[in-house]
Chain A
Amino acid sequence: MNLMIAVPFVVPLLGAALALLLRRSPRAQRVSSAVTLAVVVAGATLLLDTTAGGAVAVTQAGGWDAPLGITLVVDPLSALLLLVSSVVLLLVLLYAVGQDISGLSRAMPQVFHPIYLVLTAGVCLSFMAGDLFNLFVGFEIMLTASYALITQALTRERVRASMIYTVVSLTSSILFLTGIALVYALTGTVNLADVAEKLGGAPPELRAVLALLFLVVFGIKAAIVPMHFWLPDSYPVAITRISAIFAALLTKVAVYAIIRTQTLLFAGDDISSVMLWIAIATMVVGILGALVQDDINRIMSFVLVSHIGFMIFGLALNTVAGIAGVLYYLVHHIVVQATMFLVNGLVRQYVGHTSLRSIRGLTAVSPVLALFFFLPALSLAGMPPMSGFVAKVALFEAGAQAGGWLVWTALVAGVLTSLLTLMAIFRVWVRAFWGTPLPDMLEARAELRRGPDVAGRRVMAVTTGAMVGAGIAVTVGAGPLLEIAFTAAEDLLDGDAYIEAVMEGAT
């Protein structure tokens, strides 16, 4: 029994309730939400420490042993993702607070804070669920909150986007539920560890069908090609803080679910060639989309799709090195994607939009903003010395070790994608950050400097800077992070530690 495990799920919900009560006094609400997320960060840090060296922490919720009760499990993978996600959630919240203080977004009703914290609880629960149905519940909490968030500050464009987003997500949920029913039909249990053991005796072909079904279910949410189209149609349209957190986290939760289910439940099933093909398609189609976009947020959304392909590639290798690479890639991408969207939010201050057609010379308008864009852009493009480079090397090394013609094809696709990513991202730099600034951008800058809401904008800039700093920390700390990733990957591929920890004392 480890009560610490409850913190990342329970504390945000308490915070949400508090935030709802405090909706009449924005200042108190901001403080309480920030404190809540800071507690989650602290809890996640302690959990990461607990799982150091590959230990698995387990809580049987309600005191009923697995498989009858619900188990919450934190292994190194969960702990790592909890920590990174909570840090990003905290920073994005602070950015949103800055935006609210600056008065740039009067539209946000006071329910933003409670719903945001519910989203946090859902994300955390998904990372910790040791039970297939509970994972579904975690997803539902997260998704319901996300439906609520994406419909904030509605415009006609956003109604359309949230319609696509909601209906596609619901479809994925229905298929998820169907998958759970099938798993229960085959094994008579939904506890992940228990399922893992009992699937061993099931016919391999049926197991493979389930493996592919869950790949599709989570693949929709992870936006793998050919089920990616909803993402670039919905994320960029939402307001900054929301697209930042969606792009950074929601697809990654789905990738986490793919990792968990494919390693723990379907380890013996060879669907890696299917996954490699998906990886190739996702990398290439995604980045081709990014090349021809006109809006920076849309470009980043397509890049996001493309880079999910990299993660699927590493996972398909089914080796310690491959999965460790994916884990580091996840951490890197969560931080960098969030940074990118926050920076785009700062760009909006000067031009009111993010369309490349009428942005010029941002470097001259704000050199600091240019720096904030350039560093994560390098990272996203996989250029050294940033974290994206380390992540890419980790995956390429793993791929070269694994070998095989299909892996090499995927590797070539990865190289091509890296080059096209570079072109797509530096196209943004060349067109938006270089050149002679447009007159209205300089006016906007002068107005912003004179404006009464400097304090809020400073908070936004500082949090964005902190996010850039987090990206640098992921780079500098690549050594220890990859050590954790390797430990976690060994745990995942072994599976015994997880199963033993959960089933200890099982009836």
Chain B
Amino acid sequence: MLLPFLLALHAVVAALLPPLARVLGTRVFVVACLPPALTALWVLAHAPDVVAGQPVTSAVTWVPALDINLEFRVDALTLAMVLLVSGVGAVIFGYCARYFHTGERGLGRLSAVLVLFAGAMLGVVSTDNLFALYVFWELTSITSFLLIGHDDRKEHARRAALQSLVTTAGFGLPMLVGFILLGQIGGSFRISTLVADPPVGDPLLPVALVLVLAGAFAKSAQVPLHYWLPGAMIAPTPVSAYLHAAAMVKGGVYLVARLAPGFAEVDPWRALVLTFGMATMVVGGWRALRQDDLKLLLAYGTVSQLGFLTLLAGTGTQVAATATIGVLLAHGFFKSALFLTVGVIDHQTGTRSIAALSGIGRRMPVVAGAATLAAASMAGLPPLLGFVGKEAALEAYLPGGDPATALPSGAAAVVLVGVVLASVLTVGYSARFVWGAFSTKDTVAERRVPRPAAAFVAAPVSLAVLSLAAGVLPFAVDPVAQGYAAAFDTSGEPYHLALWHGLTPALGLSALVLVAGALLFHRRVTVARVQQALSRWPDADRGYHGVVHAIYVVALRVTRLLQSGSLPVYLGVILATLLALPGARLVMALASGDVAPPGAGGNELRFWNTPLEGVVALLIVVTAVATVREHRRFPALILVSAMGFGVAGLFVLYGAPDLALTLVLVETLTTIILVFVLRRLPATFGTRPDGWAKRLTVLLCAAAGTFIAVSLWLMTAARTDPPVSLGYTSLAREAGGDNLVNMILADFRALDTFGEVVVLATAAVAVTSLVLLRRSRVVEETDPGPDETEEERAGARTGEGERT
């Protein structure tokens, strides 16, 4: 099928847009329209099959070893989402061509990222593989990050972008772990397989679901993770309309709806979805009531509606599922229409503040009409799609409304109260929006504003008309809803989306909601006073910043503690680790008796083979201790070489005169070279450890030495096989030599010798280049910044970075 190509088309067009933008200016958005428009047409062409229950599928393999494959499956739920993502997307892109001014900064980048986002979102809603879903999901996070930070010169935009990324991607990570768990206990990473045959009963399933829901809730801005969404309103208005109304924030709802057929019955799915959904619905609605910025009003309204949708999508009954599709589409249409209206108002008047707008309705009647229509749909007025959806939603929680309801009646009643309460708030802020944007207020001076061009207004008007048309003709939308809801238990008569169900309790509740909402709007001054009094609620945004700040404080402390910059400390830590890992293991083994000290049989502890060894050993020990105690450089060097000669003496005693000779040569040469170096250095060592540092050093070194010595003793005693070196004797004749050491160096292990020669040659070349490098040729690759002082650099070294 075409879908992978359509996705690729998004990417290709995105790559072409930045160069095109230089030529086309704002008309570049018309090109940007192409991929989503084609996608919408394609999905509409397949709609009859899809709603009939025949999903369109295709797959592209990527990493089969990990089950990361780009599998696609377009069913009824996907169809609804694609209509929003690509259909509404295309309309909004067209609107962009009028909204932005030619010469606006970064148009090419903006359009490219928008198209990439559209592609990513299309991927989210059409893929059938958990990993692919995650891939597209985080792609929407990243593109959204870039879009929110579009005007990156504003500090506020940068902060909001980072906040939304950290929140959505940060909670995406637990979701990824949840996906992995889900796939492993379910035996497949294909979503359709998992939903059809959920691994119910597995003790890890609830864990997996909680993790997945965490990601979905963050994406769909559920309380208390909703704080990023209002912040994201810093983005250009069409971007907000698209990302934060139609598409991205629906990602979480989509995921809940996608998994609900398989997992709604598993604890604690319903408890979580209903609790968080309800809290979000009410908090969002309440806060929307008091916003002055029209865009923020809509943002909080969106938070509220997202709670509503999460609740519906997660309930997992046939009626709720039908309502989900209805409300999903309704919200996509009316909310983007309203955002675009705000865009028009902002564009023409330069403000979005309710307190500064007056008389706009008279200046822009068409816009006002469209916005009123959309707001009516939001409030749930008949005959708009919003009403149809809300009727279905009320029906889902009414006692006896849904014969197959799986909710305990108590819970259903609580949810019903919550839905009604939130709907009342919704009516209140819908009315406040229309009044605030378009009414003529006595207290505000009217300004003359230019009338918007017809093409500019076309987008919000068409979306508002869509709200009306779909409401009047619900049977156009109903098949999609039925196609999705069929996945749930339909033992009774399936519920259909319709304008008129007769005189039902739901209709009564709708009427009640409208009346109460109207009252709320009428009493807006009192409401404002109550809100003022209650405004000291804990703020989730402050919580976010508190957590981030705490992370930085911990990071600073830990790094300052560990990154001391002192070489002796570093070496001490290495020795301590040596003692703590293999050292402690050896002690434990000895203490538990797993490794016995070698006993009789030639392996018992002897002090020496000949007393001469004792003498040489004593010499080595004495010179070693004296070296460490010596604080003048030259005597220390002499002591070190004396120690080297002692070691050479040991070689002689063990019958290796060649080695001893070599070592004597090396020691002599080294000493001579170092004497030359010492001439240029101060006579004494600059710093020496003292007090407890000295004691600790001595202790560490002694312990490390003891560990090595004891290990050597034990391991020699435990030797498993005769050493391979015995084999050299017979081979030496074959090789044509009789000095074994020479044969090993020059023939048997010549590669090692060659390697060491390379080491020496490299060292020689390096030293020569350093010595011969004339001072004049030392030009730094880069100059340190002129304003950077030594202290600052030292500060950076110890990790004193500034906190953000």
Contacts and interface: CB of A to CB of B under 8 A. Distances in A.
A45 interface: no
A329 interface: no
B573 A227 contact: yes
5 contacts: A111-B769, A220-B574, A232-B563, A292-B556, A435-B158
A181 interface: yes
B153 interface: yes
B354 to A, nearest CB: 31
A227 B574 contact: yes
Given A148-B765, A188-B723, A289-B563, A141 B752 contact: no
Contact of A348 (B64, B166, B759, B782): B782
Contact of B720 (A105, A186, A390, A486): A186
B481 to A, nearest CB: 32
Contacts of B400: none
Interface of B: 18, 61-66, 68, 109, 131, 134-136, 138-139, 142, 145, 149, 152-153, 158, 161-162, 165-166, 169-170, 173-174, 176-177, 180-181, 184, 548, 551-552, 554-556, 558-559, 562-565, 567, 570-571, 573-574, 577-578, 581-582, 585-586, 589, 594-595, 708, 711-712, 714-716, 718-725, 727-728, 731, 747-752, 755-756, 758-759, 762-763, 765-766, 768-770, 773, 777-785, 787-788, 793, 796-797, 799-804
B142 A355 contact: no
A422 B169 contact: yes
Given A154-B778, A199-B720, A137 B756 contact: yes
A191 B169 contact: no
B784 A353 contact: yes
Given A415-B173, A419-B173, A435-B153, A400 B715 contact: no
Interface in A87-146: 104-107, 109, 111, 114-115, 118, 121, 125, 133-134, 137-138, 140-141, 144-145
Contact of A157 (B66, B581, B793): B793
B177 A479 contact: no
Interface stretch (A73-81, A245-253, A378-386, A457-465): A378-386
Interface string A351-391: 11101111001010001000000000010000111000110
- 8 nearest CB pairs, A to B: A148-B766, A188-B723, A434-B152, A137-B755, A205-B589, A384-B135, A212-B582, A288-B555
Interface string A495-507: 0000000000001
A39 interface: no
Contacts of A493: none
Interface of A: 13, 20, 61-62, 64, 67-70, 104-107, 109, 111, 114-115, 118, 121, 125, 133-134, 137-138, 140-141, 144-145, 147-148, 151, 153-155, 157, 163-164, 167-168, 171-172, 175, 178, 181-182, 184-189, 191, 194, 198-199, 201-206, 208-210, 212-213, 215-216, 219-220, 226-227, 229-230, 232-233, 239-240, 274, 285, 288-289, 291-295, 298, 324, 348, 351-353, 355-358, 361, 363, 367, 378, 383-385, 389-390, 393-394, 396-397, 400-401, 411, 415, 418-420, 422-423, 426-427, 430-431, 433-436, 478-479, 482-483, 485-486, 507
Contact of A188 (B165, B712, B720): B720
Contact of B751 (A61, A168, A232): A61
A363 B293 CA distance: 31
Given A163-B567, A294-B796, A383-B169, A426 B65 contact: no
A357 B158 CA distance: 16
Contacts of B748: 62, 64, 68-69
A201 B720 contact: yes
B777 A106 contact: yes
Contacts of B570: 164, 168, 229-230
A118 B166 contact: no
Given A141-B758, A188-B724, 10 more contacts: A141-B759, A168-B571, A171-B571, A212-B585, A213-B578, A289-B563, A292-B803, A378-B142, A384-B139, A423-B166
B656 to A, nearest CB: 15
B727 A436 contact: no
A383 B131 CA distance: 12
A155 B752 CA distance: 35
Contacts of A415: 173-174, 177
Contact of A229 (B18, B174, B562): B562
Contacts of B762: 115, 118, 141, 144-145, 148
Contacts of A62: 747-748, 750-751
A70 B555 CA distance: 47
Contact of B721 (A163, A187, A357, A397): A187
B402 to A, nearest CB: 37
A383 B173 contact: no
Nearest to A324: B65
A285 B558 contact: yes
B773 A109 contact: yes
Nearest to A381: B169
A216 B567 contact: no
Given A115-B765, A390-B66, A292 B552 contact: yes
Contact of A293 (B63, B721, B799): B799
Nearest to A145: B762
A140 B173 contact: no
A209 to B, nearest CB: 5
A265 to B, nearest CB: 13
Nearest to B61: A479
Contact of A64 (B61, B567, B716, B731): B731
A114 B152 contact: no
Given A107-B779, A385-B135, A298 B769 contact: no
B720 A202 contact: yes
B138 A383 contact: yes
B711 A209 contact: yes
Contacts of B554: 288
Contacts of A483: 65
Contact of A233 (B149, B161, B181, B563): B563
